[in-house]
Structure 1
Amino acid sequence: MSEILRDQFQKIIAIQPEEFDYILGHFTYKKFKKHQFLVQDGQHVTFDYFLLSGCVKSYYSDENGKMHILLFALKDWWITDYEAYYYQKNAIVNIDCLEDTEVLCLSNDNREKLCREFHQIEHFFRKKTNRRNVALQNRILSLLSSSAKQRYEKFLLEYPSLVQKLPKHILASYLGVSRETLSRLYSTK
Protein backbone atom coordinates (compact mmCIF):
# COMPACT_ATOMS: atom_id res chain seq x y z
CA MET A 1 0.00 0.00 0.00
CA SER A 2 2.98 2.30 0.30
CA GLU A 3 2.82 2.71 -3.49
CA ILE A 4 -0.14 5.06 -2.91
CA LEU A 5 2.18 7.44 -1.03
CA ARG A 6 5.00 6.99 -3.55
CA ASP A 7 2.59 7.79 -6.40
CA GLN A 8 1.45 10.94 -4.63
CA PHE A 9 5.05 12.10 -4.14
CA GLN A 10 5.83 11.40 -7.78
CA LYS A 11 2.96 13.59 -8.99
CA ILE A 12 4.90 16.56 -7.60
CA ILE A 13 8.56 15.56 -7.16
CA ALA A 14 11.10 13.11 -8.56
CA ILE A 15 12.11 10.56 -5.96
CA GLN A 16 14.42 7.57 -6.20
CA PRO A 17 13.34 4.15 -4.83
CA GLU A 18 16.02 4.15 -2.11
CA GLU A 19 15.03 7.69 -1.08
CA PHE A 20 11.40 6.66 -0.87
CA ASP A 21 12.28 3.65 1.29
CA TYR A 22 14.16 5.95 3.67
CA ILE A 23 11.28 8.46 3.73
CA LEU A 24 8.71 5.70 4.29
CA GLY A 25 10.70 4.63 7.34
CA HIS A 26 9.62 7.89 9.00
CA PHE A 27 5.94 6.94 8.81
CA THR A 28 3.94 4.62 11.05
CA TYR A 29 1.14 2.41 9.71
CA LYS A 30 -2.15 2.27 11.64
CA LYS A 31 -5.62 0.81 11.14
CA PHE A 32 -8.77 2.36 12.53
CA LYS A 33 -12.27 0.92 12.72
CA LYS A 34 -15.42 2.77 11.71
CA HIS A 35 -16.27 5.41 14.37
CA GLN A 36 -12.74 5.43 15.86
CA PHE A 37 -11.03 8.80 16.24
CA LEU A 38 -7.76 9.79 14.61
CA VAL A 39 -7.93 13.10 16.47
CA GLN A 40 -10.17 14.14 19.38
CA ASP A 41 -10.98 17.60 20.64
CA GLY A 42 -8.79 18.46 23.62
CA GLN A 43 -6.14 15.83 22.97
CA HIS A 44 -2.54 16.30 21.89
CA VAL A 45 -2.08 15.89 18.12
CA THR A 46 0.96 13.83 17.20
CA PHE A 47 0.44 12.97 13.53
CA ASP A 48 -0.56 14.13 10.10
CA TYR A 49 -2.45 11.22 8.52
CA PHE A 50 -2.13 10.05 4.92
CA LEU A 51 -5.10 7.83 4.01
CA LEU A 52 -4.33 4.54 2.32
CA SER A 53 -7.98 3.48 2.42
CA GLY A 54 -11.24 4.49 4.04
CA CYS A 55 -13.00 7.78 4.65
CA VAL A 56 -12.84 10.21 7.59
CA LYS A 57 -14.53 13.46 8.52
CA SER A 58 -13.09 16.46 10.33
CA TYR A 59 -15.56 18.46 12.38
CA TYR A 60 -15.96 21.03 15.10
CA SER A 61 -18.70 20.85 17.74
CA ASP A 62 -19.92 24.21 18.98
CA GLU A 63 -21.03 25.01 22.54
CA ASN A 64 -24.56 23.85 21.70
CA GLY A 65 -23.28 20.48 20.51
CA LYS A 66 -23.98 21.22 16.84
CA MET A 67 -21.55 19.48 14.50
CA HIS A 68 -19.87 21.62 11.82
CA ILE A 69 -18.10 19.45 9.26
CA LEU A 70 -14.97 21.05 7.90
CA LEU A 71 -13.89 18.45 5.40
CA PHE A 72 -13.65 14.82 4.43
CA ALA A 73 -10.62 12.80 3.48
CA LEU A 74 -10.43 9.73 1.28
CA LYS A 75 -7.69 7.48 -0.04
CA ASP A 76 -4.64 9.55 -1.10
CA TRP A 77 -5.57 12.57 1.09
CA TRP A 78 -3.84 14.11 4.11
CA ILE A 79 -5.69 15.20 7.25
CA THR A 80 -5.11 16.35 10.81
CA ASP A 81 -5.89 19.31 13.07
CA TYR A 82 -3.14 21.43 11.53
CA GLU A 83 -3.05 24.14 14.18
CA ALA A 84 -2.59 21.55 16.91
CA TYR A 85 -0.11 19.54 14.81
CA TYR A 86 2.16 22.46 13.86
CA TYR A 87 1.96 24.45 17.09
CA GLN A 88 1.87 21.61 19.63
CA LYS A 89 -1.57 22.59 20.90
CA ASN A 90 -4.50 20.43 21.89
CA ALA A 91 -6.97 19.66 19.13
CA ILE A 92 -10.03 21.81 18.59
CA VAL A 93 -11.51 19.50 15.96
CA ASN A 94 -12.40 15.84 15.86
CA ILE A 95 -11.46 13.50 13.04
CA ASP A 96 -13.27 10.19 13.02
CA CYS A 97 -13.67 7.30 10.64
CA LEU A 98 -16.80 6.96 8.55
CA GLU A 99 -15.57 3.49 7.57
CA ASP A 100 -12.62 1.24 8.39
CA THR A 101 -9.52 3.25 7.52
CA GLU A 102 -5.81 2.61 7.04
CA VAL A 103 -3.31 5.43 7.36
CA LEU A 104 0.35 6.30 7.33
CA CYS A 105 1.16 8.63 10.23
CA LEU A 106 3.88 11.29 10.05
CA SER A 107 4.97 13.15 13.17
CA ASN A 108 5.85 16.84 12.87
CA ASP A 109 9.40 16.07 14.03
CA ASN A 110 9.82 13.51 11.24
CA ARG A 111 8.29 15.90 8.69
CA GLU A 112 10.77 18.60 9.70
CA LYS A 113 13.65 16.12 9.60
CA LEU A 114 12.70 14.95 6.10
CA CYS A 115 12.30 18.54 4.90
CA ARG A 116 15.79 19.40 6.19
CA GLU A 117 17.29 16.33 4.52
CA PHE A 118 15.42 16.48 1.19
CA HIS A 119 14.70 19.77 -0.52
CA GLN A 120 12.20 17.99 -2.78
CA ILE A 121 10.18 16.79 0.25
CA GLU A 122 9.97 20.34 1.53
CA HIS A 123 8.80 21.35 -1.97
CA PHE A 124 6.20 18.56 -1.91
CA PHE A 125 4.73 19.65 1.43
CA ARG A 126 4.72 23.31 0.37
CA LYS A 127 2.75 22.41 -2.76
CA LYS A 128 0.30 20.28 -0.73
CA THR A 129 -0.16 23.11 1.78
CA ASN A 130 -0.80 25.60 -1.03
CA ARG A 131 -3.46 23.33 -2.52
CA ARG A 132 -5.09 22.81 0.89
CA ASN A 133 -5.16 26.59 1.48
CA VAL A 134 -6.86 27.19 -1.87
CA ALA A 135 -9.39 24.41 -1.24
CA LEU A 136 -10.25 25.80 2.21
CA GLN A 137 -10.60 29.33 0.84
CA ASN A 138 -12.92 28.05 -1.88
CA ARG A 139 -14.97 26.15 0.72
CA ILE A 140 -15.35 29.26 2.88
CA LEU A 141 -16.32 31.40 -0.12
CA SER A 142 -18.84 28.77 -1.20
CA LEU A 143 -20.44 28.73 2.26
CA LEU A 144 -20.60 32.53 2.29
CA SER A 145 -21.86 33.18 -1.20
CA SER A 146 -23.52 30.09 -2.71
CA SER A 147 -27.04 28.82 -2.29
CA ALA A 148 -27.65 25.40 -0.74
CA LYS A 149 -28.49 24.07 -4.19
CA GLN A 150 -25.24 25.42 -5.66
CA ARG A 151 -23.19 23.91 -2.81
CA TYR A 152 -24.95 20.56 -3.28
CA GLU A 153 -24.40 20.54 -7.04
CA LYS A 154 -20.73 21.48 -6.61
CA PHE A 155 -20.29 18.66 -4.09
CA LEU A 156 -21.88 16.19 -6.52
CA LEU A 157 -19.47 17.28 -9.25
CA GLU A 158 -16.33 17.29 -7.10
CA TYR A 159 -16.97 14.22 -4.93
CA PRO A 160 -19.44 11.87 -6.67
CA SER A 161 -18.15 8.79 -4.83
CA LEU A 162 -18.64 10.45 -1.44
CA VAL A 163 -22.35 11.13 -1.93
CA GLN A 164 -23.09 7.39 -1.79
CA LYS A 165 -20.85 6.83 1.27
CA LEU A 166 -22.15 9.60 3.49
CA PRO A 167 -25.17 9.44 5.76
CA LYS A 168 -27.62 12.22 4.86
CA HIS A 169 -27.19 14.08 8.16
CA ILE A 170 -23.39 14.18 7.65
CA LEU A 171 -23.72 15.56 4.11
CA ALA A 172 -26.29 18.11 5.32
CA SER A 173 -23.90 19.28 8.04
CA TYR A 174 -21.05 19.65 5.54
CA LEU A 175 -23.26 21.69 3.19
CA GLY A 176 -24.51 23.85 6.05
CA VAL A 177 -28.16 22.91 5.55
CA SER A 178 -30.82 21.05 7.48
CA ARG A 179 -31.57 17.45 6.65
CA GLU A 180 -34.96 18.54 5.35
CA THR A 181 -33.33 20.99 2.94
CA LEU A 182 -30.98 18.25 1.77
CA SER A 183 -33.96 15.95 1.15
CA ARG A 184 -35.53 18.63 -1.03
CA LEU A 185 -32.26 18.99 -2.95
CA TYR A 186 -32.14 15.21 -3.46
CA SER A 187 -35.69 15.20 -4.81
CA THR A 188 -34.87 17.88 -7.42
CA LYS A 189 -32.08 15.73 -8.92
Structure 2
Amino acid sequence: MEEILRKQIEKIVQLTDEEFRFVLSHFTVKSFKKHQYVLQSGNPAPNDHFVVKGLLKSFYLDEAGKTHILQFAMADWWISDPQAYHNELNATLNIDCLEDTDTYVISLDNREKLCAESRKMEYFFRKKTQAGYIALQKRIQSLMSQSAKERYDQFIHLYPQLSQRLPKALIASYLGISRETLSRMADH
Protein backbone atom coordinates (compact mmCIF):
# COMPACT_ATOMS: atom_id res chain seq x y z
CA MET A 1 0.00 0.00 0.00
CA GLU A 2 2.81 2.40 0.86
CA GLU A 3 4.21 2.18 -2.66
CA ILE A 4 0.94 3.44 -4.17
CA LEU A 5 1.03 6.56 -1.98
CA ARG A 6 4.71 7.10 -2.66
CA LYS A 7 4.20 6.81 -6.44
CA GLN A 8 1.34 9.32 -6.19
CA ILE A 9 3.56 11.83 -4.40
CA GLU A 10 6.56 11.17 -6.63
CA LYS A 11 4.58 12.07 -9.73
CA ILE A 12 5.13 15.62 -8.45
CA VAL A 13 8.08 15.58 -5.98
CA GLN A 14 10.87 13.11 -5.28
CA LEU A 15 11.30 11.91 -1.69
CA THR A 16 14.13 10.14 0.06
CA ASP A 17 13.19 7.06 2.09
CA GLU A 18 13.53 9.14 5.26
CA GLU A 19 11.31 11.90 3.88
CA PHE A 20 8.70 9.35 2.83
CA ARG A 21 8.68 7.75 6.30
CA PHE A 22 8.10 11.24 7.73
CA VAL A 23 5.24 11.85 5.28
CA LEU A 24 3.73 8.45 6.02
CA SER A 25 3.74 9.21 9.76
CA HIS A 26 1.10 11.89 9.11
CA PHE A 27 -1.34 9.44 7.51
CA THR A 28 -3.46 6.63 8.91
CA VAL A 29 -4.90 3.66 7.02
CA LYS A 30 -8.65 3.09 6.96
CA SER A 31 -10.66 0.28 5.42
CA PHE A 32 -14.32 0.50 4.48
CA LYS A 33 -16.84 -2.05 3.27
CA LYS A 34 -19.00 -1.73 0.18
CA HIS A 35 -21.97 0.61 0.89
CA GLN A 36 -20.26 2.02 4.01
CA TYR A 37 -20.26 5.79 4.35
CA VAL A 38 -16.88 7.47 4.60
CA LEU A 39 -18.62 10.79 5.22
CA GLN A 40 -22.23 11.82 5.76
CA SER A 41 -23.75 15.22 5.19
CA GLY A 42 -24.15 17.17 8.42
CA ASN A 43 -21.16 15.51 10.13
CA PRO A 44 -17.65 16.92 10.52
CA ALA A 45 -15.30 16.20 7.60
CA PRO A 46 -11.92 15.93 9.31
CA ASN A 47 -10.11 13.86 6.67
CA ASP A 48 -8.93 13.84 3.10
CA HIS A 49 -8.76 10.32 1.64
CA PHE A 50 -6.22 8.94 -0.80
CA VAL A 51 -7.72 5.81 -2.35
CA VAL A 52 -5.41 2.79 -2.46
CA LYS A 53 -8.04 0.22 -3.43
CA GLY A 54 -11.74 0.39 -4.17
CA LEU A 55 -14.22 2.86 -5.59
CA LEU A 56 -16.16 5.68 -3.93
CA LYS A 57 -18.63 8.35 -4.93
CA SER A 58 -19.31 11.79 -3.48
CA PHE A 59 -22.83 13.10 -3.83
CA TYR A 60 -25.49 15.26 -2.34
CA LEU A 61 -29.24 14.89 -2.09
CA ASP A 62 -31.37 17.83 -3.15
CA GLU A 63 -34.56 18.85 -1.34
CA ALA A 64 -36.60 16.53 -3.55
CA GLY A 65 -34.38 13.60 -2.56
CA LYS A 66 -32.65 13.36 -5.95
CA THR A 67 -29.02 12.21 -5.89
CA HIS A 68 -26.41 14.38 -7.63
CA ILE A 69 -23.00 12.74 -8.02
CA LEU A 70 -20.08 15.13 -7.96
CA GLN A 71 -17.16 12.76 -8.11
CA PHE A 72 -16.02 9.18 -8.30
CA ALA A 73 -12.69 8.15 -6.82
CA MET A 74 -10.77 4.98 -7.52
CA ALA A 75 -7.23 3.85 -6.70
CA ASP A 76 -4.70 6.70 -6.93
CA TRP A 77 -7.37 9.43 -6.54
CA TRP A 78 -8.20 11.75 -3.63
CA ILE A 79 -11.68 12.39 -2.25
CA SER A 80 -13.20 14.59 0.47
CA ASP A 81 -15.70 17.37 0.96
CA PRO A 82 -13.17 20.16 0.26
CA GLN A 83 -15.31 22.99 1.63
CA ALA A 84 -15.98 21.17 4.89
CA TYR A 85 -12.44 19.77 5.19
CA HIS A 86 -10.54 23.02 4.60
CA ASN A 87 -12.96 25.25 6.52
CA GLU A 88 -13.57 22.76 9.34
CA LEU A 89 -17.32 22.79 8.73
CA ASN A 90 -19.91 20.04 8.68
CA ALA A 91 -20.11 18.21 5.40
CA THR A 92 -22.63 19.08 2.72
CA LEU A 93 -21.61 16.00 0.72
CA ASN A 94 -21.89 12.29 1.33
CA ILE A 95 -19.12 9.88 0.38
CA ASP A 96 -19.84 6.18 0.22
CA CYS A 97 -18.07 3.09 -1.00
CA LEU A 98 -19.17 1.38 -4.18
CA GLU A 99 -16.63 -1.39 -3.48
CA ASP A 100 -14.59 -2.47 -0.47
CA THR A 101 -12.08 0.35 -0.10
CA ASP A 102 -8.73 1.06 1.55
CA THR A 103 -7.54 4.63 1.97
CA TYR A 104 -4.72 6.65 3.43
CA VAL A 105 -6.29 9.37 5.52
CA ILE A 106 -4.80 12.72 6.46
CA SER A 107 -6.45 15.15 8.86
CA LEU A 108 -6.32 18.87 8.15
CA ASP A 109 -4.15 19.33 11.23
CA ASN A 110 -1.66 16.70 10.06
CA ARG A 111 -1.68 18.13 6.54
CA GLU A 112 -0.92 21.60 7.88
CA LYS A 113 1.88 20.24 10.08
CA LEU A 114 3.31 18.24 7.18
CA CYS A 115 3.25 21.24 4.86
CA ALA A 116 4.88 23.44 7.51
CA GLU A 117 7.70 20.89 7.93
CA SER A 118 8.17 19.92 4.27
CA ARG A 119 8.33 22.36 1.37
CA LYS A 120 8.11 19.37 -0.97
CA MET A 121 4.80 18.30 0.51
CA GLU A 122 3.48 21.85 0.56
CA TYR A 123 4.28 22.00 -3.16
CA PHE A 124 2.70 18.56 -3.72
CA PHE A 125 -0.59 19.52 -2.05
CA ARG A 126 -0.65 22.88 -3.85
CA LYS A 127 -0.24 21.12 -7.21
CA LYS A 128 -2.96 18.55 -6.33
CA THR A 129 -5.31 21.36 -5.29
CA GLN A 130 -4.68 23.23 -8.54
CA ALA A 131 -5.36 20.08 -10.55
CA GLY A 132 -8.62 19.63 -8.64
CA TYR A 133 -9.74 23.18 -9.40
CA ILE A 134 -8.93 22.72 -13.09
CA ALA A 135 -10.85 19.42 -13.23
CA LEU A 136 -13.83 21.05 -11.50
CA GLN A 137 -13.80 23.96 -13.96
CA LYS A 138 -13.73 21.53 -16.90
CA ARG A 139 -16.59 19.54 -15.38
CA ILE A 140 -18.73 22.65 -14.88
CA GLN A 141 -18.02 23.87 -18.41
CA SER A 142 -18.92 20.43 -19.76
CA LEU A 143 -22.23 20.41 -17.89
CA MET A 144 -23.04 23.91 -19.11
CA SER A 145 -22.01 23.68 -22.74
CA GLN A 146 -21.94 20.07 -23.96
CA SER A 147 -24.80 17.87 -25.04
CA ALA A 148 -25.59 14.73 -23.07
CA LYS A 149 -23.96 12.64 -25.82
CA GLU A 150 -20.78 14.76 -25.73
CA ARG A 151 -20.59 14.44 -21.93
CA TYR A 152 -21.06 10.68 -22.16
CA ASP A 153 -18.41 10.30 -24.87
CA GLN A 154 -16.01 12.43 -22.84
CA PHE A 155 -16.64 10.33 -19.72
CA ILE A 156 -15.96 7.09 -21.64
CA HIS A 157 -12.80 8.60 -23.13
CA LEU A 158 -11.45 10.00 -19.84
CA TYR A 159 -12.49 7.11 -17.58
CA PRO A 160 -12.82 3.90 -19.60
CA GLN A 161 -12.14 1.77 -16.52
CA LEU A 162 -14.94 3.47 -14.57
CA SER A 163 -17.52 2.84 -17.26
CA GLN A 164 -16.94 -0.90 -16.75
CA ARG A 165 -17.19 -0.74 -12.95
CA LEU A 166 -20.21 1.54 -12.52
CA PRO A 167 -23.92 0.88 -13.00
CA LYS A 168 -25.49 3.00 -15.73
CA ALA A 169 -27.71 4.76 -13.18
CA LEU A 170 -24.65 6.18 -11.39
CA ILE A 171 -23.01 7.29 -14.62
CA ALA A 172 -26.27 8.97 -15.66
CA SER A 173 -26.46 10.82 -12.34
CA TYR A 174 -22.86 11.97 -12.70
CA LEU A 175 -23.58 13.22 -16.25
CA GLY A 176 -26.80 14.93 -15.19
CA ILE A 177 -29.02 12.85 -17.46
CA SER A 178 -31.67 10.19 -17.01
CA ARG A 179 -30.85 6.49 -17.00
CA GLU A 180 -33.06 6.06 -20.06
CA THR A 181 -31.17 8.74 -22.00
CA LEU A 182 -27.88 7.09 -21.12
CA SER A 183 -29.15 3.69 -22.22
CA ARG A 184 -30.21 5.10 -25.59
CA MET A 185 -26.79 6.71 -26.10
CA ALA A 186 -24.85 3.65 -24.93
CA ASP A 187 -26.77 1.39 -27.30
CA HIS A 188 -25.79 3.47 -30.35
**TM-score using structure 2 length:** 0.99
The CA distance in 1 between the partners of 2:71 and 2:35, in whole Å, is 16
Per-residue CA deviations over 1:27-55 (Å, capped at 9, x if unaligned) read 11011000001110000111000000001
- CA distance, structure 1, for counterparts of residue 88 and residue 10 of structure 2: 30
| RMSD between superposed Cα atoms in Å | 0.6
In the TM superposition, residue 133 of structure 1 has moved relative to its aligned partner by 0.3
Cα shift at 1:22? 1.3
Q: How does 1:88-99 map to 2 (within 5 A)?
A: 88-99=88-99
**Partner residue, 1:117:** 117
Tell me what 2:51 maps to: 51
- Aligned equivalents of 1:11, 1:166: Cα separation in 2: 27
Q: What's the secondary structure of 1:56's corresponding residue?
A: strand
Aligned to 1:143: 143
Q: Which residue does 1:101 correspond to in 2?
A: 101
> When the two structures are superposed, what TM-score results if normalisation uses the length of structure 1?
0.98
Q: State the 1:21 CA deviation.
A: 0.7
Query: How far off its partner does 1:167 sit?
Result: 1.0
The aligned residue for residue 28 of structure 1 is 28
Identity of aligned residues (%): 55
Q: Where does structure 2 lack aligned partners over 5 or more consecutive residues?
A: none
Structure 1 unaligned blocks of 5 or more: none
- Residue 154 (structure 2) pairs with residue 154 (structure 1): yes
**Is the partner of 1:76 in helix, strand or coil?**
coil
- Displacement after TM superposition at 1:25 (Å): 1.0
Residue aligning to 1:87: 87
